[in-house]
Structure 1
């Protein structure tokens, strides 16, 4: 608690200071999750100084800002974050930044189209990146913000946007083609927490998470028993762990199912709230999505 108070005090002090000089007159952009960092990188490229707060395997639901993060935020010209209370522990920090250009990419979306939730602080499922059409809207939004901030680079940002949208369209087509090889009665996705509801809605999967929308909620014995009964009833062949969530809950679920005479395997590890390691294919949004779909389809066939 004392450390938390000290951190918030340091936020107020740091934000009253003048930003450091920017290298090569580029704007300083800070992003929260790895998905947003990848998006902004594709649009801003070498024309911005980009720093992401979270790395591979980091759970944004539980992430807390370090003193180093506060310094990055203080020196930022623009901060892009998901919103919808995904970065729950950072809300207090953002509230101290009223004079900063903090942009929630979810604010561009029509809230009436989002998946509602009575169990999450915003009343909306925040895992919007698993809807590719939403991600295209977010891409346009980021492009507009960067273009307003650096109008001299607007043609470059627009060209980057056009190229990236084509890649997202190709991604959606490829994923749809791959998923169509999986019969609809086998499209049941059981994961550690409810991160894949937008994916399920987009590609006709029934999605069930052992934990709720936030990993801050823990699964209990009743949750495991209820889901194990569902898996047996539906004849589910494989369940999945997530790269940013401890695998012990899914392993407990597997043990409960197998103890009842139904063999269920762990089909692989999916990327949910964070991308893969930087420098790998899975370290990009497009690569992550392709990897996830290949893993899901191959395990459930």
Structure 2
């Protein structure tokens, strides 16, 4: 049955590929190649940030693809035609877990799949104290703290090594280098954020994707110690973007910005700008001079294929640079008023 499913999807992809071009055609070609029989491990990752780690750790020994592509919201993603075949064909599936992939069909498939590994769920069993929870819901965006995300590297190494023990040494060497690179990036982001004075180090973004970032990089040492860093970031939308905000949500953000003398709001690449625009509009009616940063942040998705932000480290580096630039007023007027 598994081979028949692979043959079926290959026929579909071959047909689609014939009339495709650009990135769509390239992606279809990559998926088609992934389905073909070969010696490499077939790895399916739910999101790009996981796939990037798999790419580095697995090297030439893995054939890897991402399930949720581009700027699609991973919180609400539901299985579409062809996804079932990917899940069936994968040797290993890595997903974020801890509430990220909560579209009913995807959630059910991942949680019942015998070869699916929840990176967040596995890490939480070992280090539950590191995870954030709001109103009874786990915050799944722990990739925003590089020091936490690097803790998933040993989990990936273990699973790849279990499937292909002959390549264990390679996985461990690649993973060791990746761990070093991620630690360096973590320290670099800390250095960049400390270049912003504490009275300016506040983030207002589209949805609650930056709590881990705020705790790790925006909070002062004292705030981290006494768990009082929450004021460092606020958003009109919750842990899963819904594009619908109430007047009380708007008022809450305006009150926060007024309290800490903030002007700049940040949009996110895969979230509608409508909520942020509504806050700016409401503020202008009350004489508040709010502006929107022209450069977007990457929250639930990495940058476009081929860009420097299309890697996990590139994504975080971009976010840190943009936040520092705009909060320090180094943007040379590159911001939008509505």
Structure 1 unaligned runs (5+)? Answer: 1-13
From the superposition, tell whether residues 225 and 37 of structure 1 become closer, same or farther in structure 2 (CA, over 3 Å): same
| Cα distance between partner residues in 1 of 2:111 and 2:196 | 45
1:264 matches 2:290: yes
**SS of 1:242 mapped into structure 2:** coil
Query: What is the aligned partner in structure 2 of residue 3 from structure 1?
Result: none
Provide, for residues 137-195 of structure 1, a one-character-per-residue CA deviation record: whole Å limited to 9, x for no partner. 10111111111111111111111111111211221121111111100111110011111
- Pick from 174, 177, 183 the counterpart of residue 163 of structure 1: 177
Matched, 1:246 2:248: no
What is the SS of the residue equivalent to 2:236? strand
Report SS of the residue matched to 1:25: coil
Contact kept in structure 1, 2:44 and 2:64, CA below 8 Å: yes
**2:119 pairs with 1:92:** no
Provide the secondary structure at the position in 1 that maps to 2:38: helix
Task: Give the whole-Å Cα distance in 1 for the aligned partners of 2:272 and 2:5.
Answer: 41
Indicate whether 1:279 and 2:306 are aligned: yes
Distance 2:90 2:187 in 1: 36
Q: Using CA pairs below 8 Å that are at least 6 residues apart, which structure has the higher relative contact order?
A: 1
SS state at 2:154 partner: helix
User: Following TM superposition, by how much is the alpha carbon of 1:76 offset from its aligned partner in structure 2, in angstroms?
Assistant: 0.7
- What's the TM-score, normalizing by structure 1? 0.89
Give the deviation of 1:16 after TM superposition: 11
Task: Please state whether the residue corresponding to 1:281 is helix, strand or coil.
Answer: coil
**Greater Cα shift, 14-23 or 198-207:** 14-23
Pairing of 1:86-165 with structure 2 (within 5 A): 86-89=100-103, 90-97=106-113, 100-106=114-120, 107-109=122-124, 110-120=127-137, 124-165=138-179
Is 2:238 the counterpart of 1:219? no
Among candidates 83, 105, 108, match of residue 97 of structure 2: 83
Aligned to 1:296: 323
Tell me the CA shift for residue 95 of structure 1: 4.2
Structure having the higher strand fraction is 1
- Aligned ranges 1:49-64 → 2 under 5 Å: 49-64=63-78
Tell me the alpha carbon deviations over residues 229-262 of structure 1, each in whole angstroms, 9 at most, x when there is no partner. 2212221021100011111111111111222212
Matched position secondary structure for 2:235: strand
Residue 333 of structure 2: aligned partner: none
| Aligned counterparts of 1:95 and 1:298: Cα–Cα separation in 2 | 41
